[in-house]
Amino acid sequence: MTNTNTSDRKPMIECRGVHKHYGDYHALRGIDLTIRAGEFFSLLGPSGCGKTTLLRTIAGFEDISDGVVMIDGQDMVHVPANRRPTNMVFQSYAIFPHLSVAQNVGFGLRRDPRPARDKAAAVEDALAMVGLAGYGNRAAHALSGGQRQRVALARALILKPKVLLLDEPLSALDRKMREQMQVELIKLQRQVGITFVLVTHDQEEALVMSDRIAVMFEGEIAQLDGPEALYSRPASRRVADFLGVMNFLPARVTQDRAEGVLVETPGFGVVEIPNRNVSRANPDDAGPMVGFRPEAVSLLRAGQPESGNITHGTIDEVVYYGDMTYYDVRMDGAAGFDGIAPPVRISMRNVFGRELPDVGTRVRVSWSPGGLILFR
Amino acid sequence: MAGNRSETAQGLTLITPPLLYSVLVLAAPLFTILAYSFLKDGYLTVIREFTLENYVQVWGDPIFRRIMLRSLGVAAMVTLVTVVLAFPVAYFLSFVVAPERKALWLFLITIPFWTSYLIRVFLWKVILGYNGVINSGLLSIGIIDEPLTFILYNVNSMVITLAHAYAPFAILPIFVALEKIDRPLLEAGRDLGENRLMTFWRVTLPLAMPGVVAASLIVFIPTIGDYVTPELIGGGKIPMVANMIQVQMLALDNRPLGAAMAVTAMLVVAVLSLAFVLVNRRFLKVQR
């Protein structure tokens, strides 16, 4: 999350009622979306949700069946891909194998009126910007995955587009490289100030990099929000489930109040959930549910003083991650209204050198109503 | 490494029959020709004495030079026409035809091979001839008053015939090269500001070059040595090198001279092919 407030910026990309049909398949079902200038925007969703189609629509590789796509206030309907103020970093990077690194980066400068020497300098600058200074004469096919991606970035950014489109740019890299590139991309975006639109299926990547995220399912935007709001106040169970881990417990709404909703939940008893934590988009008819993130509650060690509400439980599973551990805990009295008591997942940061509790250990779960979300 | 040895033995056993066959029908005649080319001609007999006389004669013969050049010229022309005509077909196959239809299209392209080469050449004679399909057709609808003569018994008609005969050989390698081009590369070309034509020129064509070079080679080499087409379509009046060799070998019964011509022609083709291969390698290196 880059934490830059971009809400006052002018709109750069506007989609109004965008539909896309492929024969019988309805890939985009009425996308309304405004991406602001200078924003790092992500389209997040599972494969087949239409996020790549939407990106390709903005780039001009797909015609839209209905609706309007505007870039910087201009209707793009009749503007072909090569005339749009956008450039793309392709998932496969699409580095031209018959050209050198410098020729790849300079590919789009053919019609640039500057003399050849200035263009060569621009290519060198672009390579330096992505950390590939001096690589110009290399053959493109001799590059590693990470280097290819940098070339693809330099090749797009050298043209100073209004919008840079990134189609799953990090998915081909290994984890370490991916995390490094995430930080580099954020810095690069801040440095050049260009609007970045990223397509990803990796929720962590979206949370790390974006100013705002549109979560998409089946050709529709399910929620559009900043990373923090999206994570802590998901608009629907589906969004909550897709972004990180969310525990769900069956709930029974007992009373609507001015500041919140009174619900009864096995394990937690009767709780008042504040209105800001109530999500009314729960279309899958599973009845009301109370959800909480693994870090919204905590386990108390033996002898640790109690604070807030306490529920007792038994550790069912311990999943060790090095810096933190997931504990699957069966809470007492959590055998729901139907008698089933699924374990809930609770995460705790590990303290170096301290022993972890074993499976079967009785524990106290400390929680507060502020950490609970009601989906009704 | 006992296992390895038996594997080697197995491999040798497997390739022995085809190897024997190739030695018998390919290498042995080639060596015979090579040997003949260094022997003396004793009119109707061959004198078994080493000489370079035949080569001196071949290289000094203006008629051989003219015919060799004509062969190269015709082959070059055929190659140019074939590749230029094959490229759009291959492009259509690769970029326009739906993936599930490609096999069918490839199959259709091989249909001309169902008819023997000789018959196909003969058919062109029927089409292009003095009283052929084209002439009688044009005459009957009154476009021309007398039969066109520039389409039979000359180089044009030979180019038309050979270009048709070798079209599939040119289409297939170009098609394969085009198939290997990652489609996002073409989108990248458009994304970086080039229209379709410039993207073709700067991305598609350079990446298809290995296929184009291979196609050229495949068409060029056999057409130089083509014998049937000059005989039938050229009417025997514009012989190519194969016809000249045939005349030396059989009609004039000067086998050593004919052999020297054959070896010389082979050398010329080999040198040109080598040049082709070197060009090809330059493009192939880039491809990887």
Backbone torsions φ then ψ of B142, nearest 5 degrees: 80, 20
Q: For residue A52, what pLDDT is reported?
A: 95
Question: A155 to chain B: which residues are within 8 Å by CB?
Answer: 192
Give the nearest partner residue to A81 out of B190, B283, B288, using CB atoms: B190
| Cβ-contact A362, A314 below 8 angstroms | yes
Our measurement of the distance from residue A155's CA atom to the centroid of its chain's CA atoms, rounded to an integer in Å, reads 25
DSSP H or E stretch at residue A189: helix A175-192
Instruction: Check if CATH label 2.40.50.140 holds for domain A245-375.
Output: yes
The 10 Å CB-count burial string (b at 16+, else e) for B49-65 is eeeebbbebbeebeebe
Pairing assessment for the beta strands A298-300 and A362-367 based on DSSP bridges:
antiparallel
What the block records as the tokens of A361 is 């250990």
What the block records as the tokens of B40 is 């003396």
B191 touches chain A (CB under 8 A): yes
Q: For residue B251, what pLDDT is reported?
A: 85
Domain range for residue B191? 63-284
**pLDDT of A2 above 50:** no
Residue B95 lies inside a defined structural domain of this protein: yes
Question: B286 to chain A: which residues are within 8 Å by CB?
Answer: 97-98, 139, 141
Question: A96 to chain B: which residues are within 8 Å by CB?
Answer: 185, 188, 203
Whole-number Cα distances in Å, A23 to A26, A58, B80, B183: 8, 20, 42, 22
Radius of gyration of chain B (CA): 24
The set of residues, in sequence order, having a beta carbon less than 8 Å from that of A232 and lying 6+ positions away, is: A293
Cβ contact (<8 Å) for A90 and B187?
yes
Residue B245 lies inside a defined structural domain of this protein: yes
Q: For residue B1, what pLDDT is reported?
A: 46
Give the nearest partner residue to A96 out of B185, B190, B193, using CB atoms: B185
Q: Which is nearest to B89 in space by CA: B102, B75, B70?
A: B102
Q: Looking at A38-42, A94-98, A128-132, A272-276, which range is the least confident one?
A: A272-276
Chain pair A-B, CB pairs under 8 angstroms:
69
Instruction: Check if CATH label 3.90.226.10 holds for domain A11-232.
Output: no
Question: B203 to chain A: which residues are within 8 Å by CB?
Answer: 96
Whole-number Cα distances in Å, B277 to A115, B72, B212, B270: 37, 17, 12, 10
Cβ contact (<8 Å) for B195 and A91?
no
Residue B11 lies inside a defined structural domain of this protein: no
Which residues of B, range 200-239, sit inside 8 Å of A by Cβ?
A: 202-203, 206-207
Q: For residue A1, what pLDDT is reported?
A: 45
Question: A110 to chain B: which residues are within 8 Å by CB?
Answer: 193-194, 198, 202
3-state secondary structure (DSSP) of residue B116 = coil
What the block records as the tokens of B187 is 């989108």
The C-alpha atoms of residue A291 and residue A374 are separated, in whole angstroms, by 6
Domain count, chain B: 1
Q: What is the per-residue pLDDT across A42-95, written as a single tens digit (0 to 9) for each?
A: 999 999 999 999 999 999 999 999 999 999 999 998 999 999 999 999 999 999
What percentage of residues in chain A have a pLDDT greater than 70?
Answer: 94
Q: Which is nearest to A275 in space by CA: A370, A142, A168?
A: A370
Cβ contact (<8 Å) for A88 and B286?
no
Radius of gyration of chain A (CA): 25
Cβ contact (<8 Å) for B195 and A82?
yes
* B182, B185, B191: best to mutate for the A interface, most A CBs within 10 A: B191
Q: For residue A201, what pLDDT is reported?
A: 93
B18 touches chain A (CB under 8 A): no
Å from B186 to nearest chain A CA? 8
* A71, A96, A171, A197: best to mutate for the B interface, most B CBs within 10 A: A96
Q: What is the mean pLDDT of chain A?
A: 90
DSSP letter at A357 equals P
The amino acid that residue B190 corresponds to is R
Å from A141 to nearest chain B CA? 6
The C-alpha atoms of residue B142 and residue B136 are separated, in whole angstroms, by 10
Please give the sequence-ordered ranges of beta strands (E in DSSP) within chain B, or none if there are none: 39-41, 46-50
| Cβ-contact A125, A118 below 8 angstroms | no
Q: Which is nearest to A19 in space by CA: A54, A43, A55?
A: A54
B5 touches chain A (CB under 8 A): no
Residue for token digits 């919008």? A163
Which residues of B, range 248-287, sit inside 8 Å of A by Cβ?
A: 283, 286-287
State the ipTM, two decimals: 0.85
Residue B130 lies inside a defined structural domain of this protein: yes
Higher pLDDT, A287 or A158: A158
The three-point CA angle B10-B11-B16 to 5° equals 100
Higher pLDDT, B284 or A272: A272
The amino acid that residue A102 corresponds to is A
Cβ contact (<8 Å) for B184 and A139?
no
Q: Which is nearest to A129 in space by CA: A151, A107, A103?
A: A151
The amino acid that residue B127 corresponds to is I
Residue B107 lies inside a defined structural domain of this protein: yes
What the block records as the tokens of A178 is 């991916």
Whole-number Cα distances in Å, A330 to A282, A302, A365, B263: 25, 17, 10, 90
Average pLDDT over residues A212-239: 93
Q: For residue B288, what pLDDT is reported?
A: 42
Q: For residue A279, what pLDDT is reported?
A: 82
Residues from A contacting B (CB-CB < 8 Å) are 59-61, 80-83, 86-88, 90-92, 94, 96-98, 107-108, 110-111, 139, 141, 155-156, 159
Instruction: Give the residue extent of every domain in chain A.
Output: 11-232, 245-375
For position B143, which CATH number holds? 1.10.3720.10
pLDDT (tens, 9 = 90+) of chain B, 288 residues, equals 455 678 888 988 899 999 999 889 998 999 999 999 999 887 777 888 888 888 999 989 999 999 999 999 999 999 999 999 999 999 999 999 999 999 999 999 888 788 888 888 888 888 888 788 888 888 888 888 888 777 777 888 889 889 988 999 999 999 999 999 999 999 999 999 999 999 999 999 999 998 998 899 999 999 998 888 888 887 777 888 999 999 988 888 888 999 999 999 999 999 998 888 887 776 665 544
Cβ contact (<8 Å) for B191 and A139?
no
Residue B71 lies inside a defined structural domain of this protein: yes
Residue for token digits 């203006």? B62
DSSP letter at A70 equals E
Our measurement of the distance from residue A326's CA atom to the centroid of its chain's CA atoms, rounded to an integer in Å, reads 22
Cβ contact (<8 Å) for A90 and B194?
no
**pLDDT of A338 above 70:** no
User: Is the sign of the CA dihedral A116, A121, A124, A130 positive or negative?
Assistant: negative
3-state secondary structure (DSSP) of residue A366 = strand
Closest-approach residue (CA) in chain B for A89? B188
Question: B281 to chain A: which residues are within 8 Å by CB?
Answer: none
DSSP letter at A300 equals E
Cβ contact (<8 Å) for B207 and A98?
yes
* B192, B282, B283: best to mutate for the A interface, most A CBs within 10 A: B192
Å from B284 to nearest chain A CA? 9
Backbone torsions φ then ψ of A330, nearest 5 degrees: -90, 115
Q: For residue B4, what pLDDT is reported?
A: 65
What percentage of residues in chain A have a pLDDT greater than 90?
Answer: 65
What the block records as the tokens of B80 is 């140019």
Residue A69 zone, left/alpha/beta (φ > 0; ψ -120 to 50; rest): beta
